[in-house]
């Protein structure tokens, strides 16, 4: 039943002895329908959303931490291939001493140099990512 109709029908039967503020219903922060919608949102955030996001965050954090600090990636680094540059330079010098082009002695010379440079660049980016992760780490 409509609140206003109820109040006015009772008033018609006789005015109450004390003063009643009829506008109190208008003072609710949210109407009941909106309150139910808002409760649905809050309930989802409190009981489902956080657990979902926290689990995903924890899994991602753990995986990143494992790669950076536990060696889970077991990836090559520039340090691993720096000595290859020395060997490649020796090959080049020896080839020139023999009057040959380096590609005649080692056909993959240029490609090997390119790969080492790419490893150097990727290793620097990997380190930058690690530094960025360290800044975030709680």
Could you tell me if residue 129 is inside a domain?
yes
How far is it, in rounded angstroms, from Cα 5 to Cα 26? 15
Could you tell me if residue 135 is inside a domain?
yes
Could you tell me if residue 121 is inside a domain?
yes
pLDDT tens track for 105-123 = 999 999 999 999 999 999 9
pTM: 0.64
Could you tell me if residue 15 is inside a domain?
no
Could you tell me if residue 99 is inside a domain?
yes
Place 35 in a pLDDT band, splitting at 50, 70 and 90.
Answer: confident
Q: Which domain holds residue 94?
A: 75-138
Could you tell me if residue 131 is inside a domain?
yes
Q: Which of 29, 125, 32, 28 is nearest to 75 (CA)?
A: 125
């Amino acid at each position: 039943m409509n609140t206003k109709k109820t109040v006015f029908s009772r008033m018609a039967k006789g005015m109450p002895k004390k003063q009643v503020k009829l506008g109190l219903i208008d003072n609710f922060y949210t109407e009941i329908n909106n309150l139910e919608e808002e409760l649905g949102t809050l309930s989802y955030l409190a009981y489902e959303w956080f657990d979902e996001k926290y689990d995903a965050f924890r899994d991602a954090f753990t995986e990143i931490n494992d790669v950076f600090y536990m060696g889970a990636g077991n990836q090559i680094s520039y340090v691993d291939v720096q000595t290859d540059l020395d060997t490649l330079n020796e090959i080049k010098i020896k080839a020139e001493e023999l009057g040959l082009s380096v590609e005649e002695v080692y056909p993959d010379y240029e490609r090997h140099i390119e790969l080492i440079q790419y490893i150097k660049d990727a290793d620097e980016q990997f380190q930058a990512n690690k530094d960025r992760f360290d800044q975030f780490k709680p």
